[in-house]
Chain A
Amino acid sequence: MPDYALNTSENTRRRHIKEVRFQWVGRIAILISLGFLALMFIAISVRGYSVFEQTHIQLDIFFDEAHLDPSGARDPEMLLIADYKPLLTTALQRRFREVQERREKRRLYKILSRGAVFALGEMVQKNPNLIGTSQRLWLPASAEVDLYMKGKVDVSLEEELRRLKNKEINWVNQLKAQGQIKKKFNTRFFTKGDSREPELSGILGAVIGSAFSLLVCFTIAFPLGLLTAIYLEDFAKKTLLTDLIEININNLAAVPSIVFGLLGLSIFLGVFHLPRSTPLVGGMVLALMTLPTIIIAARASLRSVPNTIREAALGLGASKVQTTFHHTVPLAMPGILTGTILGMAGALGETAPLLMIGMVAFIVDVPQGITDVATSLPVQIFLWADSPEKGFVERTAAAIMVLLSFLVLMNLLAVFLRKKLQRQW
């Protein structure tokens, strides 16, 4: 008698439980992966966002002519490097009259950043008429005070274990009570180069260094990659040579990036004696790394242009070269550009090869050209991450946020190109 039952048996019940269990394992795997992603973003944002604000202290500064420019020459160079420190100490003394003891005074002066001096210098250089006047100014506070204002100093800790002592906290609290200390948008971080002092350091130098490197990288890798792709896709007959080229491209895409750095070190620096630590060499190394990515993307894009287009052009009497450059390449361009942008995004995040060619130095000045000594955004992150000062931790996180924003922008651009311009054949 055949069995027609369709309901769940002991056997199938067991199997369905297994099924559900397996599905949950898959879900959990995805959740863990996405969880790590979220954790990383949160951990970095939590540390980094505070950099975008910087604590400032309000002081009445008297720009004493006798001190700054006794000769009255108003030479801009001299005004910049004049000794502004006494102005600050005087102002602080006047604000905190109760502080008399010498050691305490010295502590008091340290609630201001060393950058306050430069700030005054730049101000006076720009506007010499300030000399002889008294101004109420917001000046940057020291890194420790900044951390305290951002709630990152554990006051419950014993005094000896803190860099910020009770006295200083007391002063800051006095200022706070009178509204003479507050957090303002940190323009310095976006407009200055590196510095030994966390509160003075900025990322502009690194950003410009990265931009110059990418410029060099693009100038080399894009035409080279495009022409290679066109040749391999539309012109090359299958020979041993083209096979060799293809194997090479596929394998280069998997060579560890640091090896490209060594190539740059021994050939570009060692043989050609190109200037060390510059975006020129950095960009060249990045170009070699990006080349396979661009070639592979460009070939895929060229391949997706239907042959009917080529046949139509050839049928009208266009030569093969004309067909390719007048018809195929323009049609494939959105895809090629998408691939190139993604390749550039990869190059922007690359660190290891740049360490090899010396872009890892401490550089204060913002580079002016591709042959100036420079660093790059990811290398700057690496350098700051390595610094022992606590103030640099948040700088590192903030720099990462900037780097990731650039990457997001580039990816959005790529998505936009793909969505808007790419046709569906």
Chain B
Amino acid sequence: MFPSTNLQLRRAGRGSKLKEQIIIVGMLVCSLVAILITIGIVLSLAFEAFLFFRKVPVFDFLFGLEWSPQTAIRADQVGASGKFGVLPLLTGTVLISFIAMAVATPLGLYSAVYLTEYAKPKTRNWIKPTLELLAGIPTVVYGFFAALVVAPIIRNTGSGAGFDVSSESALAAGLVMGIMLIPFISSLSDDVISAVPKAMREASYGLGATRVETITQVVLPAATVGIVGSLLLATSRAIGETMIVVMAAGLAAKLTLNPLEAVTTMTVQIVTLLTGDQEFDSAKTLAAFAIALFLFILTMGLNVIALKIVDKYKVHYA
């Protein structure tokens, strides 16, 4: 009926529609960066690791019991004399992560239980953020603390008790890393424990159960899955942590489970291999990428499993 006005409307609509399409596509491109980063990580690690595995067989890397990349001194014997067995590094990493988790799990879990089940709202309101301060402290600060305060204390107490403790020990690094992980575990478990329905607790209290009975026999069993998920996430953190171990764990690649000895980890070796003078393409530098690939797969695997578990748990109590 009014063709001219109609046309105008449509035209204006078309112009802005194109502009909007461009904006939307632009946003889509931005969100693809996340994928691009992952691809970038995988490709760069895999490519350099591939170059490494052309010099050192995969089997020797994965199952070798000795790590001594430093022995390749002369340029004409590239990679030939170095020993690139990742197992001593893995042992060190596992040892330190284990110590860290052994410290953080009870402290974090008990803190979370106390805060969710016992603390008055007022107390909870200041303790929770204070605990989370621990998560905001840069790891280099923890490293300094470990090397300067904790390691000497452990060495002195150790030698006082007749043990031979090296100045850099897995115990010092693990202990401090454990402190770092406390808020991580406590706030994740806090979420999980709070998600257990109130009806569960009421049923238990209604039967005359005490709080501890309710917590240990009803709440925690119901939250187990979620707690396991959060512990896995924390473990993945521990494995990938770098600065604390660089500053407090040492460089000695030993196949040992003695927490009083100095051990080295995968992350420490990546840092040592890639800082300082380096020639690209030597087996030594490439080894860092192989370790990193290994580390990436390990943490990613733990993470995917943990997220799946936590997700399933959330659905369960949604």
Contacts and interface: CB of A to CB of B under 8 A. Distances in A.
Do A and B touch directly, given a CB cutoff of 8 Å in the complex? Answer: yes
A245 B31 contact: yes
B37 A291 contact: yes
A245 B34 contact: yes
A381 B140 contact: yes
A368 interface: no
A34 B44 contact: no
Nearest to B24: A235
A350 B138 contact: yes
Contact of A256 (B111, B137, B242, B307): B242
A26 B33 contact: no
Interface in B107-156: 107-111, 113-115, 118, 127, 130-131, 133-134, 136-145, 147-149
Contacts of A228: 27, 30-31, 33-34
Interface string A243-254: 011001111101
B44 A382 contact: no
Interface stretch (A102-110, A168-176, A330-338, A396-404): A396-404
Interface string B67-95: 00000000000000000000000000000
Given A259-B41, A262-B270, A351-B140, A254 B210 contact: no
Interface of A is mostly: helix
Given A231-B28, A256-B299, A22 B141 contact: no
Contact of A231 (B27, B139, B141, B303): B27
B34 A349 contact: no
Interface in A248-294: 248-252, 254-260, 262-263, 265-267, 270, 288, 291-292
Contacts of A245: 31-32, 34-35
B136 A345 contact: yes
B20 interface: yes
A265 B274 contact: yes
Contacts of A224: 30, 33
Contacts of B145: 40, 43-44
Contact of B23 (A27, A256, A265, A321): A321
A34 B48 CA distance: 43
A259 B34 contact: no
Contacts of B137: 40, 349, 404, 407
Interface residues of B, number: 86
A213 B104 CA distance: 32
B212 interface: yes
B131 to A, nearest CB: 6
Contact of B296 (A30, A259, A397): A259
B288 A262 contact: yes
A162 interface: no
Contacts of B62: none
Interface stretch (A11-19, A50-58, A305-313): A11-19
Nearest to A266: B44
Interface in A203-237: 223-224, 227-228, 230-232, 235-236
Contacts of A40: 137, 141-142, 145, 149, 179
A73 B216 CA distance: 86
Nearest to B216: A22
B164 interface: no
B242 A257 contact: yes
Contact of A254 (B106, B118, B213, B233): B233
B243 interface: yes
Interface string B256-297: 000000000001001100110000100000001100100110
Contacts of A71: none
Contacts of B102: none
B212 A18 contact: yes
A37 B127 CA distance: 12
B33 A291 contact: yes
A259 B236 CA distance: 13
Given A256-B240, A403-B138, A404-B137, A26 B37 contact: no
Give the interface size class of chain A: 35 or more
Contacts of A223: 30
A262 B20 CA distance: 38
A185 B17 CA distance: 63
Interface in B209-257: 210-213, 215-216, 233, 236-237, 239-243, 246-247
A288 B138 contact: no
A25 B113 CA distance: 10
B20 A407 contact: no
Interface string A19-52: 1001101111110111011011001100100000
Contacts of A61: none
Contacts of A381: 140-141, 144
A164 interface: no
Nearest to B134: A37
A259 B45 contact: yes
Contacts of A260: 41
A165 B312 CA distance: 69
Contacts of B304: 251
A397 B148 CA distance: 10
Contacts of B148: 43, 47, 385, 393
Given A259-B240, A385-B247, A235 B27 contact: yes
A29 to B, nearest CB: 3
Given A34-B131, A256-B296, A352-B271, 13 more contacts: A22-B215, A23-B212, A37-B133, A43-B145, A248-B34, A252-B38, A256-B239, A256-B267, A256-B299, A259-B45, A319-B20, A382-B143, A397-B144
Which A-B residue pairs are the 3 nearest by beta carbons? A256-B240, A349-B138, A26-B114
5 contacts: A256-B242, A258-B242, A262-B292, A356-B275, A358-B275
